[in-house]
Amino acid sequence: MPNIMSYRFTATLLALICCFCQPDSRAQSAAPVPALKDNARFPIGVALNVGNEPGDMADIRESATLINSQFNSIVAENGMKMRFLHPAIDTYDFAAADALADYASTHGMILHGHTLIWHHDYQLPVWMKNYQGDWQAMLREHIQQICRHFAGKVKSWDVVNEAIDNKHPKQYRATLFLEKLGPAYIEQAFIAAHEADPAAVLYYNDFNIESKSDKLQFMLDMVDDFQRRHIPLHGIGFQMHVSIDSPDIAQIKTALQAVAARGLQVRISELDVSLNQQQKAASLDPARAQLQKTRYRDIVSTYLQSVPPAQRGGITFWGLLDKDSWLLDNKPYPDWPLLFDDKGQAKPAYFGVLEGLKESQ
């Protein structure tokens, strides 16, 4: 039962009520603004929900005007995680993800796959938690069934997500995969994915690698080892769930440059800028909205300054409208982390991104 105090639940409920009061409440005609995708020579993406977790293709179609005008890359926020694609050991369910892939193809968008291997309990298949067989063969089959199915539809994958311990960043996170296979599960995942779909661009994705130097260094050591051994890791996804003032932009620049210097693709994979995780204010302060605009501009500008054009895997925002954000989950206070407000109107944050993109023109 969702936490009825959660803002995301409340916001969604209000949207549903509005649907009855007025059609297409998610797609209210917003003032037209320039297209972000037309101001970048690399993918500009957004995370969307399919398979009713909590949104679905109906929501996407309702917001299609905004999505199609602004973005040329999409990723499933939840619907392509492990238990949704692989609900039982001999069962794969690609229906919802195929609908998203069809949408991407119809609208000339890239589909990024998130994520083949992740420890998070919400999306770990129950059968996998109890699996007693050959773990290496099972994970290989999991990855290869999915990568073969989406070959030609999914351009790039988060092959492994968040494998480094965030609290003790000089070691791998103690996950079921580490327990069963040791750190080798990571390289095995990349090798399996590359064999199944040699054309796919394969990423390691994590958070706080732009803010924790120990975590960044541990990841860089893994990358260097993989490059020495020709493990097919092609890029790094910096999730970039940040706030207005942390981490500082110099630290972000250092991290992006360190990965770019290794010749890898670099994605900002889950960008949002929270305004209220500390303040817990009941309403949005316009001055903070302007600080958020500056923050988005500086992050985009730093990405362009730090990553050579050929290595720019793109920037993806972790949600379309503020009310869609995971940051509202189970919180008794709101947040406004994204580019568009709950009516699809461009916020100052959107204009910050546009200014950052234009700086590179």
Enumerate residues 164-223 that contact ligand G3I by CB under 6 A.
none
Which of 318, 357 has the CB closer to ligand G3I? 318
- Crossing angle (nearest 10°) for helices 135-150 and 184-196: 30
Q: Which one among 15, 27, 54, 281 touches ligand G3I, defined by CB under 6 A? A: 54
Short-list 289, 275, 286, 291, CA closest to 333:
275
Q: Position 80: which residue type? A: M
Residue of 45, 159, 150, 176 lying closest to 94 (CA atoms): 150
Q: Which of residues 225-264 bind ligand G3I (CB under 6 A)?
A: 239
Rounded Cα gap, residues 54 and 9, in angstroms: 9
Site for ligand G3I in 8-47 (CB under 6 A): none
- C-beta of 205: minimal distance to ligand G3I in Å? 7
Residue type, 131: Y
Distance of CA 239 to the CA centre of its chain: 6
270 tagged catalytic: yes
How many residues in total does the chain contain? 361
Antiparallel, parallel or unpaired: β 201-206 and 235-238: parallel
Which element (helix H / strand E) includes 160? strand 156-161
Q: Does 122 bind ligand G3I (CB under 6 A)?
A: yes
Closest contact distance (angstroms) between CB of 237 and ligand G3I is 9
Q: How far is the CB of 272 from ligand G3I (least distance, A)?
A: 9
User: CB of residue 239 vs ligand G3I: minimum separation in angstroms?
Assistant: 5
- Pick the catalytic residue: 62, 77, 210, 270? 270
Give the residue, chosen from 59, 62, 77, 322, that forms a contact with ligand G3I under the rule CB under 6 A. 77
Minimum gap (Å) between residue 56 Cβ and ligand G3I: 11
User: DSSP class of residue 322?
Assistant: G
| Contact assessment for residue 160 and residue 204, using Cβ atoms and an 8 Å cutoff | yes
Residue 321 forms beta bridges with which residues?
A: 340
- Using the minimum distance from each CB to ligand G3I, give the nearer residue, 142 or 297: 142
- Catalytic residue, chosen from 62, 77, 162, 210, is 162
Count of residues in contact with ligand G3I, rule CB under 6 A: 12
Taking residues 260 to 289 in sequence order and writing x for each that binds ligand G3I by CB under 6 A, - otherwise, the string is: ----------x-------------------
Q: What is the CB-side half-sphere exposure of residue 210 using CA atoms within 13 A?
A: 31
Among 103, 185, 326, 340, binds ligand G3I (CB under 6 A): 326
Of 117-125, 163-171, 291-299, 335-343: span binding ligand G3I (CB under 6 A): 117-125
CA distance 150 to 119: 22
Pick 150 or 207: Cβ nearer ligand G3I: 207
Report strand pairing: 235-238 vs 156-161.
Answer: unpaired
108 — alpha (psi -120 to 50), left (phi > 0) or beta?
left
123 part of the interface to ligand G3I, by CB under 6 A: yes
When binding is defined by CB under 6 A, the residue of 13, 29, 107, 120 that contacts ligand G3I is 120
The residue within the footprint of ligand G3I, chosen from 15, 35, 53, 213 (CB under 6 A), is 53
Q: Dihedrals φ, ψ of 141, to 5°?
A: -65, -45
- Enumerate binding residues for ligand G3I (CB under 6 A): 2, 53-54, 77-78, 120, 122-123, 161, 239, 270, 326
Residues with catalytic function? 162, 270
